Structure 1
Amino acid sequence: MLRCLPPLRGSTSGRQAVRDTKDRERGTLLFEPSAWQAFVNAVRDGEFGG
């Protein structure tokens, strides 16, 4: 289960990089700007509960 997803500085090609700090061996996920913004908006709007 992912618990901490900090955005990483120095994202490549305009994409947003994130990783699970509890399991760094899993690597980094890269998101297109529109997908990252949709995720941020969904969190802000409470779409994931909590």
Structure 2
Amino acid sequence: MAALVRHPEDGRALGVLSVAGPSARFGEARMHELAPLLLAAAQDLSHASQASELFR
């Protein structure tokens, strides 16, 4: 499962944040549980990129 990290101003792709695990512990219910957290973390990284000269 993955979420795109985008530049907050122009939307260009900066990277990808992913979560993986064995299917015994990472089934559909767990993916639904983690999806909002993964998307929030990707958005946090997007906003944090503004502090770096590398992403301007």
**TM-score band, normalised by shorter chain:** 0.3 to 0.5
Q: Larger C-alpha radius of gyration, 1 or 2? A: 2
TM-score by length of 1: 0.36
TM-score by length of 2: 0.33
Which structure has more RCO (C-alpha within 8 Å, separation ≥ 6)? Answer: 2
